């Protein structure tokens, strides 16, 4: 399910429906299972229902404080849904609690994503660079770096990062701003407006077409 949550699926609607059914059964049969609630929260998140996912992640933590990934997921939801500064703080707390976590690269990235949306361009470069050093494979890390570098008027570096994203994920994945906007995980008008002013604006400066 992790692949679906982050990257989508060729059969996304069917996969989400099946995941929703399985998570509901898991919670019904094991209401005290942190993992069951975690699965339900992840499904809600991929359905762009972060306001509902956050209480489920909080239930996870009440059942098992050691599932630090649930704290990081609360942070991710708040970056998608607001308030972004609380989302960044949750990711930072997850890093402090689990500094050797195998997912730490993704927490670095989400901090950078939040800073980009808030127009903190230096931090929007620093944190995804750390993420890319830990795991260079995800193309989206390079796409966000492309936007951040371009917003800092380092357009050649931005173009190089965009090219890296396309090399990793394929040209179609980063074809146009319009295509990205269609698949956005940003849930509220306020967060979408911030993305327009930062992420999408930076990608245009890095050379991405509008359509």
The DSSP H or E segment spanning 7 is: helix 2-7
- pLDDT tens for residues 97-134? 999 999 999 999 999 999 999 999 999 999 999 999 99
Considering the domain boundaries, does residue 204 fall inside one? yes
15 domain residue, yes or no:
no
User: 167-191: string of b/e by CB count within 10 Å (b at 16+)?
Assistant: ebbeeebbeebeebeeeebbbeeeb
pLDDT at 4 over 70: no
**Above 70 in pLDDT, residue 1?**
no
Tell me if the bond preceding 83 is cis, omega within 30° of 0. Answer: yes
Whether 170 is covered by a domain: the verdict is yes
Domain interval for residue 122: 102-211
The answer to the question of residue 108 being in a domain is yes
pLDDT band at 180; cut points 50, 70, 90:
very high
Q: List pLDDT tens digits, range 181-190.
A: 999 999 999 9
Contact 48, 185 (CB under 8 A): yes
Does 170 score more than 60 pLDDT?
yes
- 10, part of any domain: no
Tens of pLDDT, residues 8-52: 444 467 888 888 899 989 999 999 999 999 999 999 999 999 999
Q: Domain total for the chain?
A: 1
Question: Are the C-beta atoms of 41 and 56 separated by less than 8 Å?
Answer: yes
> Is 23 inside a domain boundary?
no
List, in order, residues 6 or more apart from 201 with CB less than 8 Å away. 147, 151
CATH classification at residue 130:
1.25.40.10
Enumerate the H helices of 34-154 as residue ranges: 34-46, 50-63, 68-81, 84-97, 104-117, 121-134, 139-151
């Amino acid at each position: 399910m992790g692949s679906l949550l982050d990257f989508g699926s060729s059969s996304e609607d069917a996969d989400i429906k099946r995941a929703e059914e399985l998570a509901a059964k898991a919670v019904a049969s094991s209401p005290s299972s942190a993992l069951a609630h975690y699965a339900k929260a992840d499904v809600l998140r991929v359905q762009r229902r972060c306001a509902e996912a956050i209480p489920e992640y909080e239930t996870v933590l009440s059942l098992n404080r050691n599932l630090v990934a649930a704290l990081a997921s609360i942070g991710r939801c708040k970056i998608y849904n607001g308030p972004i500064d609380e989302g960044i703080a949750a990711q930072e707390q997850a890093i402090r609690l689990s500094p050797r976590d195998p997912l730490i690269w993704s927490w670095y990235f989400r901090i950078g994503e939040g800073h980009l949306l808030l127009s903190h361009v230096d931090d929007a470069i620093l944190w995804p660079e750390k993420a890319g050093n830990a795991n260079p494979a995800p193309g989206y890390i390079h796409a966000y770096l492309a936007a951040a570098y371009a917003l800092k008027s380092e357009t050649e570096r931005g173009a190089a990062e965009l090219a890296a994203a396309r090399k990793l994920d394929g040209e179609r994945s980063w074809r146009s701003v319009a295509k990205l906007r269609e698949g956005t995980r940003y849930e509220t008008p306020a967060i979408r407006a911030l993305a327009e002013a930062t992420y999408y604006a930076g990608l245009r400066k890095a050379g991405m077409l509008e359509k």
